[in-house]
Amino acid sequence: MDWGSLHTILGGVNKHSTSIGKIWLTVLFIFRIMILVVAAERVWGDEQDDFICNTLQPGCKNVCYDHFFPISHIRLWALQLIFVSTPALLVAMHVAYRRHEKKRQFRKGDKKCEYKDIEEIRSQRFRIEGSLWWTYTSSIFFRIVFEAVFMYAFYFMYDGFRMPRLMKCNAWPCPNTVDCFVSRPTEKTVFTIFMIAVSSICILLNVAELCYLLTKFFLRRSKKAGNPKHHPNHENKETKQNEMNELISDSCQNTVIGFTS
């Protein structure tokens, strides 16, 4: 059980996402999860061992480390990535529920059901409309909220995004104010700023996706109000565009799978 399993779960959601959603997923896996696993974990690997305080008093180092790092950056990022990926599951569950309903209709021999066999239902890509639109939009909203909450938590806990070289500590049992030195502060600052920057990009992508969905929704409503007739040509164009987007994102995913394996 590791990040690869999360990738498998979210990969299934990818099929039903918009193009911006697919870009978001790629950014999440390549620039956040992969960077976390391949690089950031090593930078923070020796954080307590190499946190050195200028005292021989037993216990002082432990207490000072705990005081300055109530929760490590790396754990906070891991939690952030898990929370931010979770809303996509709402969409996956909704799609699974729809598929289940279609399969039930198909088995009952419902004449309304337009599918020829179960395999077609399994590979069917649902359009983001109706109740699925609401689920999808809520999932994007929650993503934005989680990202913002975690970024604020970082800022609040560490007084900004810089990692200082030296911290002065006078928590008991340290006898006086003691100098404590953090290991690799510059490298940690670089990675912190990188992760914050990518979080901000993800927030922008989510906001853009939200605006895109809202715009599409209002345009569709006004079109329906103005012209209730069905336009098959327009729908075909959209389906072809979606298929192309899928091909692009599948090739991106294959690259990601290659990296993570």
Partner 1 sequence: MSWASLRDLLSGVNKYSTGIGRIWVAVVFLFRLLVYVAAAENIWKYEREDFECNIKQPGCENVCFDHFFPVSHIRLWALQIIMVSTPSLLVVFHIAYRENREKHHNRKLYKSPGGIDGGLLCTYLISLILKIGFEIVFLVLFYKLYNGFKIPRLVKCDRRPCPNTVDCYISKPTEKMIFLYFLVATSCLCIVLNLSELSYLVCKYSMKCYLKRYIKKHQ
- Positions touching partner 1 (CB under 8 A) are 1-3, 5-6, 9, 48-49, 57-59, 61-63, 65-66, 69-72, 74-75, 78-79, 82, 85-86, 89, 93, 96-97, 173
The whole-angstrom separation of Cα 94 and Cα 152 is: 31
Kindly state the smallest distance separating residue 13's Cβ from partner 1, in Å: 12
Which residue lies nearer to partner 1 by CB, 48 or 124? 48
Across 146-235, the runs of DSSP E, i.e. the strands, are 166-169, 178-181
Kindly state the smallest distance separating residue 185's Cβ from partner 1, in Å: 19
Which residue lies nearer to partner 1 by CB, 142 or 217? 142
Q: Burial letters for 204-217: b for 16+ Cβ neighbours within 10 Å, e otherwise?
A: ebbeebbeebeeee
Which residue lies nearer to partner 1 by CB, 70 or 226? 70
Which residue lies nearer to partner 1 by CB, 22 or 94? 94
Question: In 3-state terms, what secondary structure has residue 35?
Answer: helix
Our CA dihedral for 39, 143, 102, 121, rounded to 10 degrees, sits at: -30
In this structure, which amino acid lies at residue 253?
Q
Kindly state the smallest distance separating residue 173's Cβ from partner 1, in Å: 7
Kindly state the smallest distance separating residue 90's Cβ from partner 1, in Å: 10
